[in-house]
Amino acid sequence: MIPAAFSYQRPATLAEALRIIAADPGAKLLAGGQSLLPLMKLRLASPESLVDIGRLAELKGIRPLDDGRLAVGALTTYAELLESPANRYGVLRDAIPLIGDVQVRNRGTVGGAIAHSDPASDLPACLLALDAEVLLRSAAGERTASVDGFFNGAFETAMAPGEILIEVRLPAGRDDAGSAYASLDQPASGYSMVGVAVVVFVDDARRIVGGNVALTGVGDHPYRARAVEAALVGSDGSTESMAAAAAHAIDGVEVNSDIHADRAYRSEMAVVYTRRALEAAFARTA
């Protein structure tokens, strides 16, 4: 199909882009276009104005911060993040090869995936488990926000009108941590019917002292499974303890039901894939 008519602007600088969207809060940002353009072709989205930020060098690149964290520019592609020597996060190295296809991974951007907030997107769950932050900028200034609490619903985030997501900040590496991602994908689209990102922390005896667990594809937005995290504390990593913690994967969540997976099946798979991700993450603490 052909998209509805729209105006198009391609600012040369980030400052120019901020001025444009400040004057036109209804304008839609275009980065890699791997999510927005298909929706426009199907007329599921019909923005009147597009602001193409895809060539802004200011939003590209991966660099270490002074405190050991890693800053990932919003226009960094999935492929660039996967291939970067600085990416030592097991959860990301598991998840990124599962995203879309080669074209999507080469064109789709980290910032676009977060701002789009698709309920079945893999990357938001990974960033939740990593306890990442995002840097947001508007014509009035900039602020940081935790990814935990950033996703408010299907295609809804805590970004304010006039803000652009500038970069993602990933935590410094830890010797006491292991992370992993496991997902049940829809074969045609590659979207996760259930996706689970896990980071676990252990003591010297390899008992779990904490963990972050996030699911995607299950509810109307990616979420932290707090009950699973609480059940993990004190675990020795045994099969029984991991299964017991995973049983809480959908506590308090209204589980999706669609043509790909009904509520009962998706609920069962959420538990199964949470257990698998927990076991894989714990194995990487050795």
Q: So what's the pLDDT on residue 35?
A: 81
Q: So what's the pLDDT on residue 142?
A: 96
Measured CA to CA, the distance from residue 93 to residue 79 in angstroms comes to: 10
Q: So what's the pLDDT on residue 46?
A: 83
Task: Residue 14: give its domain's CATH number.
Answer: 3.30.43.10
Neighbour-count burial of 123, counting CB atoms closer than 10 A to its CB (0-12 exposed, 13-18 middle, 19+ buried):
buried
Q: So what's the pLDDT on residue 279?
A: 98
Paired tokens of 46: 């019909």
Q: Which of 133, 152, 170 is the last residue of a domain?
A: 170
131 shares its domain with 101: yes
Q: Which of 170, 192, 223 is the last residue of a domain?
A: 170
Neighbour-count burial of 19, counting CB atoms closer than 10 A to its CB (0-12 exposed, 13-18 middle, 19+ buried):
middle
pLDDT digits (tens, 9 = 90+) for 24-75: 888 888 898 888 888 788 887 888 888 999 999 999 999 999 999 999 999 9
User: What DSSP designation does 96 have?
Assistant: G
203 shares its domain with 273: yes
* Structural domain contains residue 2: no
Q: So what's the pLDDT on residue 39?
A: 79
What is the b/e burial string over 141-163, where b = at least 16 CB atoms within 10 angstroms of the residue's CB? eeeebebbebbeeebebebeebb
Task: Give the chain's domain count.
Answer: 3
Q: So what's the pLDDT on residue 147?
A: 97
Measured CA to CA, the distance from residue 221 to residue 203 in angstroms comes to: 32
Identity of the residue numbered 247: A
The residues that bridge with 183 in the sheet, in sequence order, are 195
Q: So what's the pLDDT on residue 16?
A: 96
| Structural domain containing residue 40 | 7-52
Q: So what's the pLDDT on residue 181?
A: 98
**Mean per-residue pLDDT over the chain, rounded:** 94
> Tokens 């997976």, residue?
261
* Structural domain contains residue 81: yes
pTM: 0.94
**Mean pLDDT, 10 residues at a time, the chain of 286 residues:** 86 95 87 82 84 93 96 97 96 96 92 91 97 96 96 93 96 96 90 96 97 97 97 96 98 96 97 98 95
Q: So what's the pLDDT on residue 43?
A: 84
Q: So what's the pLDDT on residue 131?
A: 97
- Strands 141-146, 151-153: pairing is unpaired
Q: So what's the pLDDT on residue 27?
A: 87
Q: Which of 16, 31, 52 is the last residue of a domain?
A: 52
Q: So what's the pLDDT on residue 37?
A: 82
* Structural domain contains residue 89: yes
